[in-house]
């Protein structure tokens, strides 16, 4: 189970943020006036399990924006409007890229690999959850996450993040954020079905002229073996503050320890040879 977030129909209402905080009793996280558009939570953290990003982009208008003849531009605009592919985020001269970010619930999750207490575990739904009563606050998982999702809460030192509403899933309820989303930008379901739906959506958007649109995290053979929460983006991942090619940070740990062991064996053999060889 997982999320598909279609950022092209996100209206930035923050209903997902509010629903997440209310259901999970996540403390408020006021940042005040940031000067970054309407973004007042700024990033994911221990007290922000859902973050709606607002990225303002200036764009050329009229014929320049189309970079093609006016007839083709008009045809594409009509196709977008007629197919429901127009976006709430576009206006003349500027566009907002809005995206509700969340823990990716990686198939190969480095946070799970490094947790010494078993506080982080894989649920029967394939999601990754922190057990707050077992977490000892060591913080090993914080730098292990390639997305910077996991964070420690200042007042108690333990780590917190999205659980994909594990308690609701066990009661056959969809996550609070998905239920609250008024445009269905956040969609919940079986990952295979969501990936098929996302591919069809991308095809329609590309045909309508949204050539920069792309899926992020939908490939089960990527550096983390697929996201449990993937996205349809309207620009490069870096524009949204996401790493372009995330890799599970513990991928090479086995090779590193193998190298250390080989070095230790070689050193031991060298010392033994020096000691016993020198005595003859």
Same domain for 153 and 280, yes or no, is no
Domain shared by 179 and 205, yes or no: yes
Same domain, 34 and 162: yes
How would you label 162-182 residue by residue, b for 16+ Cβ within 10 Å and e otherwise? bbbbbebbeeeebbbbbbbbe
Q: What pTM was estimated for this model as a whole?
A: 0.77
Give the residue with greater pLDDT, 171 vs 256: 171
pLDDT score at 63: 44
Digit-coded pLDDT (tens) for 20-35: 999 999 998 877 777 7
Total domains, the chain: 2
Whether the CB-CB separation of 217 and 233 falls below 8 Å is answered with no
Give yes or no for a contact between 239 and 213, defined as CB atoms under 8 angstroms apart.
no
Q: Model confidence over 75-98: pLDDT tens digits? A: 656 655 555 555 556 655 678 899
The pLDDT of residue 238 is 94
pLDDT confidence of residue 19: 97
Q: 81 with 25, same domain?
A: yes
Tell me how far apart the terminal alpha carbons of the chain are, to the nearest angstrom: 68
Residues 166 and 36 in one domain: yes
Same domain, 104 and 204: yes
In a shared domain, residues 176 and 211: yes
Q: Which residues of 227-266 are buried (b: 16+ CB within 10 A; e: fewer)?
A: bbbbbbbbbebeebbbeeebebbbeeeeeeeeeeeeeeee
Whether 229 and 259 share a structural domain: no
Report the alpha-carbon distance of residue 156 to residue 247 in Å, rounded: 30
Residue carrying structure tokens 């190298």 = 259
Specify the pLDDT at position 86.
Answer: 52
Confidence of residue 61 (pLDDT cuts 50, 70, 90): very low
- Please tell me the least confidently modeled range out of 15-24, 54-63, 190-199: 54-63
CB 2 within 8 A of CB 105: yes
**Are 138 and 16 found together in one domain?**
yes
- Tell me, yes or no, whether 248 lies in a domain: no
pLDDT for residue 1 = 92
Structure tokens at 17: 């943020």
Name the residue range of residue 40's domain: 2-240
DSSP letter string, 197-214? HHHHHHHHHHHTT-TT-E
Tell me, what's the pLDDT at 257?
A: 43
Are residues 150 and 259 both part of a single domain?
no
CB 139 within 8 A of CB 154: no
What's the mean per-residue pLDDT of the chain? 85
Looking at the fold, whether 200 and 260 belong to one and the same domain comes out as: no
Q: What is the pLDDT of residues 97-156, one digit of tens each?
A: 999 999 999 999 999 999 999 999 999 999 999 999 999 999 999 999 999 999 999 888
Contact at 8 Å (CB) between 102 and 3?
Answer: yes
């Amino acid at each position: 189970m997982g999320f598909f977030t279609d950022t092209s129909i996100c209206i930035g209402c923050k209903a997902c943020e509010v629903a997440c905080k209310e259901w999970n009793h996540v403390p408020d996280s006021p940042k005040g006036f940031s000067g970054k558009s309407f973004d007042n939570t700024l990033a994911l953290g221990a007290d922000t399990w859902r973050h709606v990003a607002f990225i303002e982009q200036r764009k050329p208008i009229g014929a320049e924006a189309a970079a093609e003849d006016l007839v083709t531009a008009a045809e594409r605009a009509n196709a977008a409007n007629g197919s429901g592919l127009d976006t709430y985020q576009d206006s003349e001269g500027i566009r907002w890229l809005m995206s509700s970010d969340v823990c990716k619930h990686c198939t190969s999750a480095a946070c799970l690999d490094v947790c010494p207490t078993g506080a982080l575990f894989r649920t029967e739904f394939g999601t990754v959850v922190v057990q707050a009563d077992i977490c000892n606050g060591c913080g090993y998982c914080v730098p292990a996450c390639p997305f910077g999702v996991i964070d420690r809460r200042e007042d108690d030192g333990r780590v917190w993040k999205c659980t994909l509403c594990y308690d609701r899933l066990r009661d056959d309820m969809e996550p609070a954020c998905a239920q609250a989303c008024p445009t269905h930008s956040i969609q919940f379901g079986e990952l295979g079905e969501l990936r098929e739906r996302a591919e069809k959506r991308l095809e329609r958007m590309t045909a309508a002229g949204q050539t920069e649109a792309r899926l992020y995290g939908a490939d089960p053979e990527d550096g983390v073996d697929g996201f449990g929460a993937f996205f349809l983006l309207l620009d490069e991942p870096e524009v949204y503050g996401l790493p372009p090619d995330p890799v599970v940070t513990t991928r090479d740990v086995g090779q590193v320890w193998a190298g250390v062991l080989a070095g230790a064996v070689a050193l031991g053999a060298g010392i033994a040879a020096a000691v016993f060889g020198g005595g003859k």
